[in-house]
Amino acid sequence: MIHTAYISLGSNLGDRSGNLRDATERMRELGEVTRESSLYETEPVGFTEQPWFLNGAVELRTELAAAALMRELLGIERAMGRESNRPKGPRNIDLDLLLFDNQIVNATELTVPHPEMHERRFVLAPLAEIAPDAIHPILRKTALELLEALPAAGEVRRIDQR
């Protein structure tokens, strides 16, 4: 069975755009990357004393189940040298599984939809660009509706179309 997954990508260390390109290429081994957002330069959230991020989103069509896909995404992060030194701290790559078909998953190792996606402009702007009608299966709103409902806090600016 083919599943549709939406994945958020972020990087604020090293060659940020190169890191996002590399991660996207590695995801092609997990299925077909059918859509890629522009790149967005975004203000850090939470721990703000760090470099700004580049963020994006991809649509991936894959035969992997949600938990298996998340394990593979974590493997890509490890292979690219990601170290988890501080929650919300600087990192060369961050991959988050946002949506997986219309599934709701609440497990120790995985929560889908991503529990904070509806609060994050840096996630919703690229997602709404590639999948404005993607439905959050709990909130029953589209990515575009969620983006439009956010307060205007935290700078997010589109800098590059891929």
Sequence-ordered alpha helix ranges (H) in 8-160? 16-27, 66-79, 121-130, 143-149
Report the residue count for the chain: 162
Counted domains in the chain:
1
Quick check: pTM over 0.85? yes
Question: What single-letter DSSP state applies at residue 119?
Answer: G
Residue span of the structural domain in which 104 resides: 3-160
Q: Give the per-residue pLDDT at 66.
A: 97
The per-residue pLDDT of the chain, averaged, comes to 92
**Is the confidence at residue 46, as pLDDT, over 90?**
no
Phi, psi of 99 (to 5 degrees): -135, 150
Looking up residue 80, the CATH number of its domain turns out to be 3.30.70.560
Q: How confident is the model at residue 161 (pLDDT cuts 50, 70, 90)?
A: low
Phi first, then psi, for residue 153 (nearest 5°) are -120, 145
- Could you read off the pLDDT of 57-97 as tens digits, one per residue? 999 999 999 999 999 999 999 999 887 666 667 889 999 99
Positions annotated as catalytic residues are 82, 91, 94, 96
State the pLDDT confidence band at 36, using cuts at 50, 70 and 90.
Answer: very high
